[in-house]
A and B are shown apart, each in its own frame.
Chain A
Amino acid sequence: MPETFFGWVAFLLDQYGTVLIKGAVVTLLLAIVGTFIGCLIGLVVGIIQTIPLDENDGQVKKSVVKALQWLLDAYVEIFRGTPMIVQAMVVYYGAMSVFNIDMSPMFAGFLVVSINTGAYMAETVRGGIESVDIGQKEAAVAIGMDHFQTMRCVILPQALRNVMPQLGNNLIINIKDTSVLNVISVTELYFASKSAAGVYYKYFEIFFITCVIYFIMTFTASRLLRWVESKMDGPKDYQLVEYDPMMDPCGHVPLPTKKQKGRY
């Protein structure tokens, strides 16, 4: 048996490395799929919550939209206002005892993470849409776009760009918080670690490894998303297509070419 802390770490890695990696894969899968579906839910809910109503709309449209918005508000409040660990229990055991549905823990896990993320993202998307300058919408309307075109071409691209940091945030939170799904026996990283630690009673050593794995996952996710954001912003500078005479009020002076630059 190993004598030192790092000796134990090496030993446990050798013994349980694959178990932990498998757990990490499940964790990533839950976090990525859950965040993705959650974002789709959030997008739809956020868009519905920001549908504008004015005097010209018919009574039917008004009542339908209002009812829908009320329901979605309730969804957002309930899922933001209760812990995910409790939601997992309610969904998993509730489905079994009330609806007689025996869903797999994994499926319940995907469901809970998606719906939970959806509630947070709905608020984020709503904020993203509302934070786009009203002038953008007015300019779109003024060139003859309808509500749908305005949203699709002008508002949503800007709103989604604003929402990107929050999306990254949610992914990182989900990588960590899927650990609560161990209560319904989802074999994610925390569950795998707990099982492995129990064998030799080496909790500190195992969870030290677990800690490092979680950090590697969240750090990579954070850097990856930052890179995606910078890609979305496009190039920082632009190339002039030709010389612009209005740039220079003194008249036509040829722009210095790259070669000439060295002389100054």
Chain B
Amino acid sequence: MENRELLVSVRDLKKSFGEREILKGISFDVYRGDVVCIIGPSGSGKSTLIRCINHLEQPSGGEILYRGQSLKDAFKKLTLFRTKVGMVFQSFNLFNNMTVLENCTVGQIKVLGKNKEAAKATAIKYLKHVGMDSYVNAKPHQLSGGQKQRVAIARALALEPEVLLMDEPTSALDPEMVGEVLHVMRELAQEGLTMVIVTHEMAFARDVSSRVIFIDQGVVAEDAPPDELFNKPQNQRTKDFLKRFQN
């Protein structure tokens, strides 16, 4: 446990919208190779939390650290930090004006400054990884939800981030497409990719994650390895929440 590589730390993170405080001081660390699943009732601030990590949402208090350093010290520009933490959205958000291939190269070219050939090779490599390399010429509106989400994962991976953030990546999918996306996520986890995943897929969290964090009413109610959290939850609220998923 001692010499694991610390990547991202969330330190006493607070976020308010107007008068309402949504996050009331959240802290946890993400080490290389971790798969951290974040669960909790809807409206508890899971999306807000994950959006604060890459500063899509400006935290109102506390701080995000990268390898123990503040972002200001570690990066000249916030945009560079964002290339280190990829993001996959619930609603895919593929760029509608670009083909599948362009979706996966534009960041490499514009942000990382790679040349077109190198960007294309990297994009194809990751599209292959998610089984979407045959679709390089398709536009997003020509794809199914599951295919879109797999491309969105490839787009994030193409920047070769150190951590991949995912906000309910399967929640907007038709049931028969959930499997193909979870399958890709499982593979990525097995290959050692560091991920922070907000999910309602309890079976996935139980099998794949190294840690599960239960968020409720703006605080970390419980943070434990999956077998502990699912089999012997300590907190009454965790118990109540999990009961709803047992059938």
Contacts of A3 in B (CB 8 A): none
Contacts of B80 in A (CB 8 A): 144
- Tell whether, in the assembled complex, residue A139 and residue B93 are in contact, meaning their CB atoms are under 8 Å apart: yes
- Tell whether, in the assembled complex, residue A244 and residue B135 are in contact, meaning their CB atoms are under 8 Å apart: yes
- Tell whether, in the assembled complex, residue B56 and residue A138 are in contact, meaning their CB atoms are under 8 Å apart: yes
Find B87's partner among A142, A146, A153, A237 (CB 8 Å cutoff): A142
Contacts of B159 in A (CB 8 A): 143-144
Rounded to whole Å, the gap between the CB of B211 and the closest CB of chain A is 23
Contacts of A146 in B (CB 8 A): 77, 79
- Tell whether, in the assembled complex, residue B82 and residue A238 are in contact, meaning their CB atoms are under 8 Å apart: no
Rounded to whole Å, the gap between the CB of B135 and the closest CB of chain A is 7
Q: How many A-B residue pairs have CB under 8 A?
A: 89
**A143-B156, A146-B79 known; A246 vs B111 contact (CB < 8 Å):** no
B94 within 8 A of A: yes
Chain A residue with the shortest CB-CB distance to B90: A135
B31 within 8 A of A: no
Contacts of A139 in B (CB 8 A): 87, 89, 93-95, 152
List the one stretch of A154-162, A172-180, A216-224 in contact with chain B.
Answer: A154-162
- Tell whether, in the assembled complex, residue A149 and residue B111 are in contact, meaning their CB atoms are under 8 Å apart: yes
**A238-B142, A246-B131 known; A154 vs B97 contact (CB < 8 Å):** yes
Find A141's partner among B82, B95, B106, B152 (CB 8 Å cutoff): B82
- Tell whether, in the assembled complex, residue B180 and residue A153 are in contact, meaning their CB atoms are under 8 Å apart: no
Chain B residue with the shortest CB-CB distance to A54: B58
Q: Which of A220-264 contact B (CB under 8 A)?
A: 234, 237-246
Chain A residue with the shortest CB-CB distance to B91: A135
Find B131's partner among A55, A133, A141, A244 (CB 8 Å cutoff): A244
B134 within 8 A of A: yes
- Tell whether, in the assembled complex, residue A238 and residue B83 are in contact, meaning their CB atoms are under 8 Å apart: no
State the B residues within 8 Å of A (CB).
54, 56, 58, 77, 79-80, 82-83, 86-87, 89, 91-97, 106-107, 110-112, 131-139, 142, 152, 155-156, 159, 180
State the A residues within 8 Å of B (CB).
54-56, 133, 135-136, 138-146, 149, 153-154, 157-158, 161, 234, 237-246
